Structure 1
Amino acid sequence: MKKKREFVVVLLFLVFVYFFLASFFNSSSASSSSFKSRSRGNGDGFNIQEKKTGTNGDGLFFSSKNNNNKDNNKDNEENLRALEEIFLEEESQSSVSADPLDLQFLGLQSSLGGASSSCKFQFEIASWRETRLFFALHPECRHLDKCESELPSQTTLSKQVFDSGGGGGSSVDSRDEKNEMIIKHSTYVKRFDEDLRYAHMATIAKMKDERMILLYQAAPAAKKDVDGSDGGGGDDGNGGGDGGDATYYEYKLATEGLQDQHIEYTQSKDLEGKRWTPPVKLPIYNDAAVWSPVVHIDNNQVYVFYSESTGCKKAIPCKPPQCPKGEVCEVDSHAEMCHHTPKSLWVPGGDIKYIKSIGDPAENKWTKAVTILSQDEGGGIPKVIANSLIVMKKTGHWVLPYWREQQNAIEDGTCTRKPEFKGSSGPDCRWNKRSRCMTGAQPFSGVLVSENRGKTWQPRGQITQSNTSLIEGSIAELNDGRIIQVFRTRVGCLYKSYSKDEGKSWTEPEPMPVPNPNSKVFLMRLEPNGELLLAFNNMKNQYRSRRGATKCRACRTHLHVAISRDGDGNEWETIARLEDEIGYEAPRIHYPYMAQKDASSVLVAYTRFYLGKRKGLTSLDQGVKVAEIDLKSIV
């Protein structure tokens, strides 16, 4: 009874404060001050630098902009009913949170008075209560609630849980015999070794003789000379090591974007993908890092599409912003930019190119590279690819998904750090100054289409979404001839869009009830019936309710496969788990790519590696893997 009385008092106080604030806002002509500090305060709530702020006395804070439209009684009743619903649910669970709600910080574009919000909301950092309140106040945005859905499972698969931290080995808590029957084998194609500490972005396809070919981007280990200087460019790694005695160095973690990042390929020795030939470096004569190979087989000709960096390297502020403890502050718009490390890293993407095999790929003879989309086109923004090309059944046209991605970058060789690392030298490189590498061009996703089997190409589509970036799109043709494209996002779930004219126009992107921890997925059409198969990391960001949260180490561990049989990709259910692993130092098991071997089997290529140095430098359980999925009991 005591808790109930307290709740009634709180609710009455809320009603009083709400109507007081609504009356105050309607009568005031002064606009609210801008929200300049996006940070958590002293632990009691967020620092909301705004004069018009109301509180219900129970940890619920809400900020409001001046609203020119007067609130009516109906709007007030609906808003109060929404707030009451949340408090009633929390009261029933005895879990009333002391964490304040801050809707303006999260991007709610209207006051609690009821104006339309256009569904802009920062779901990636919203707490559960803030998300519930947003949907309660804005039922027109209810379609976004799909991001909060759980993916159903075809079976009652119990999860294999591995402890990868501290114990020196992995222990299995439970086993699932049904899942083990679906996963026929899981094999390393290439393990990390002393010469190679980075392999990623695998692609796989079946050749005419039914063997498989697999490619990935790779980089060697960085070397540290005996005198302590980095021959390879610091902890980020590099493929160099020019100075010092090469006998005395220790291997360090490599990373992506190194100067000698290249593409390697291998072929299976059997039809199941259990045994593979030693990897061979693809003879691409490049001036910078090459990225994300995509393999396509046309008759017996092997095409390898990829992107090559063009003149732009990663950049950071020369002098990082000084923020009070616990705050997240933005970089000064006039700050100078420096290369990411003294031996700087290339940004992903640039020109999209391809090469073709001459004769048997095992002979490693290839044509010269052909550029199909230049970085200079469309404003000079880098272009990137990651997932497979499809051939349209009716027209035979080739369709390759791509996206345009702008990262903080400066031109190669400019703004290098001074020896004391306190400033920069070279041309004026202000943070907000447009340049060859920061052109201000609009990022978006689309497709490249060839109507003559790869001879000429044209870009189509400009797919964007206001709530999140849409990158690393993966496409499949539906039975009715439409194309579905699914995207990696930052908001906790996948998004999708459809085209009925081979990529010329696309539907408004919409969320899918499939979790996505900001990681690449792969979509494919199964033959002969046209079911859709999806490989993905089946987890949200565990820390998405924390302000300023960046990465979740365990988010890219649950690599699962799901199927959709409804013809549109609306309904999905999990059918297999490739790997599950959690723990203090969980690896990244991610970036899947699939190829159908026959009517009853699919091969999945993916990468597995540790981010931390302790296991990243020592574990042999890292590299490129291939698993075979048995479809007989599924399709």
Structure 2
Amino acid sequence: RVIVPNEGGMNVMSVSLLRLRSGEIALFYLLKNSERDCRPVMRVSKDEGEIWGEPVTCVTDEVGYYVLNNDRAIQLKSGRLVLPLCLHWPAGQAKADWQGTLMCYLSDDNGKTWRRGKTAQKTFDAAGRRATTQEPGVVELKDGRVMMFIRASGGCQYLAWSSDGGDTWSAPVPSEIKSPVSPASIKRLPSTGDLLLVWNNHDNIPDSLKNKRVPLSTAISKDDGKTWQCVKVLEGNPKGWYCYIAIHPVGDSVLLGYCAMSGLAHSRVTRVPVAWIYGEQPDICLQGFFND
């Protein structure tokens, strides 16, 4: 069944589904009209996905090439909708900037209207050099702050924090989450209240696997992202290519959808018991990391 035909000039892509506090389901996707016009769109269903409403363009103040990854839209406890975006081709610029400008678009009326947050920032390392930061994600913390996690150069994910619902942000800083230039995903597990991280863990990675999107690992944070534990390998085939993870907790398990093995051409859905994530069940690694 086709939910949204290719209504863009080039493509429609990068889907997020979000259950709103109203009970409705929001569908977000990128409408790519050209290499200079790619913006997120929202539709809403009031009947569990049978019928979808008319599209609402979430970015109307500046045409440009924006990236919103799959499974990135969130709704805060306040009801605010937050879309973490990276702008790569601003209007009027002669060429793309793939190092990116990070920002959020916000809605306080269930997606009817949107505005850009007050912070739109490029990232610099400790030496003052421009760093590549792309494909941000966000998660609400227990203290009410919002944490942004960011695909980045430099061998790790970068992090930033907001104390006003995603409007203003601290400068992104490197974290202890070691990774290639590949996106991570973080969501809270309703059954435990802890944060689940799924990413390409490159802590002590063999030289042969550096810069590759392998392995696909999971970890748990009991302190809202300060530290991570229970690190497990879910997929470890050295020839694999695991990324763009969607996380959906279901009862005592978590559904993970992600690209697997052959770039963007193939995807996989895996049901993972929460007990396994915490190390309470035997290893179910789909492909042994050092077995091939």
Question: Does the 8 A contact of 1:291 with 1:308 survive in 2?
Answer: yes
The verdict on how the C-alpha distance between 1:554 and 1:511 changes in structure 2, with shifts beyond 3 A counting, is: closer
Q: Distance in 1 between matches of 2:185 and 2:112?
A: 26
- Could you tell me how far apart the structure 2 residues matched to 1:473 and 1:528 are? 25
Q: Hey, what's the Cα distance between the residues in 2 that align with 1:565 and 1:503? A: 22
Do the aligned residues in 2 keep the contact of 1:283 with 1:366 (CA within 8 Å)? no
Contact 2:157 2:176 in 1 (8 A): yes
Counterpart among 239, 246, 258 of residue 606 in structure 1 = 258
Match of 2:128 in 1: none
Letter in 2 for 1:449: L
Distance 2:122 2:230 in 1: 28
The alignment partner of 1:632 has SS state of: helix
| 453 and 436 in structure 1: CA distance in 2 versus 1, 3 angstrom threshold | same
Q: Is 1:283 aligned to 2:37, yes or no?
A: no
Residue 504 in structure 1 maps to residue 156 in structure 2: no
Query: How far apart are 1:437 and its partner, in Å?
Result: 5.9
Question: Residue deviations 1:119-138, cap 9 Å, x none?
Answer: xxxxxxxxxxxxxxxxxxxx
**1:623 Cα deviation from its structure 2 partner:** 2.3
Q: Once the two structures are superposed, what CA deviation does each residue of 1:226-252 show, in whole Å capped at 9, x if it has no partner?
A: xxxxxxxxxxxxxxxxxxxxxxxxxxx
User: CA contact under 8 A between 1:398 and 1:454: conserved in structure 2?
Assistant: yes
> For 2:207 and 2:153, how far apart are their aligned partners in 1?
12
CA-based RMSD of the aligned residues comes to 3.0
Structure 2 gaps, min length 5? 126-130, 280-292
Ranges in structure 1 where 5+ consecutive residues have no aligned partner? 1-278, 313-346, 408-433, 545-551, 617-621
Give the distance between the partners of 1:475 and 1:492, measured in 2 at CA: 20
Residues 479, 440 of structure 1: alpha-carbon distance in 2 compared, 3 angstrom cutoff: closer
1:400 and 2:123 aligned: no
1:520–1:591 Cα contact (<8 Å) kept? yes
Q: Which residue number in structure 2 is paired with residue 562 of structure 1?
A: 219
* Structure 1: distance between partners of 2:99 and 2:151: 18
Does the 8 Å CA contact 1:553/1:587 hold for their aligned counterparts?
Answer: no
Q: Tell me the distance in 2 between the aligned counterparts of 1:392 and 1:291.
A: 24
2:167 corresponds to which letter in structure 1? Answer: K
Q: Secondary structure at the match of 1:310?
A: strand
For residues 255 and 99 of structure 2, what CA distance do their matches in structure 1 show?
A: 36
Whole-Å Cα distance in 2 between the matches of residues 369 and 401 of structure 1? 19
* Partner residue, 2:75: 391
Whole-angstrom distance in 1 between the partners of 2:98 and 2:244 = 27
What residue is the counterpart of 2:39 in the other structure? 351
Q: Could you state the TM-score of these two structures normalised by the residue count of structure 1? A: 0.39
Contact 1:534–1:563 (Cα < 8 Å) also in 2? yes
Partner of 1:369: 55
- Per mean C-alpha deviation after superposition, the further-off stretch among 520-529 and 466-475 is 520-529
Percent identity between matched residues is 25
Residue 589, structure 1, aligned to residue 242, structure 2 = yes
How many angstroms does 1:484 deviate by?
Answer: 0.6
Which residue of structure 1 aligns with residue 284 of structure 2?
Answer: none
> Larger relative CO (CA 8 A, sep 6+): 1 or 2?
1
Distance in 2 (alpha carbons) for counterparts of 1:608 and 1:406: 29
- 4+ residue segments displaced more than 6 Å: 439-442, 540-544
Q: Partner of 2:40: helix, strand, or coil? A: strand
1:554–1:587: 8 Å Cα contact kept in structure 2? Answer: no
Q: Structure 1 residues 538, 369: closer, same or farther in 2, change over 3 A? A: same
Greater Cα radius of gyration, structure 1 or 2: 1
Which residue of 8, 13, 24 corresponds with 1:301? 24
How do residues 460-499 of structure 1 correspond to structure 2 at under 5 angstroms? Answer: 460=117, 461-467=119-125, 468-499=131-162
Q: In 2 relative to 1, CA 437–310 (structure 1 residues): closer, same or farther, beyond 3 Å? A: farther
Work out the number of aligned pairs and report it.
269
Answer 1 or 2: which has greater helix percent: 1
Please give the alpha-carbon distance, in whole angstroms, between the structure 2 residues aligned to 1:557 and 1:628: 19
Contact 1:554 1:588 in 2 (8 A): no
Return the offset for 1:308: 1.6
- Equivalent of 2:104 in 447, 471, 492: 447
CA contact (8 A) 1:563 1:574 kept: yes
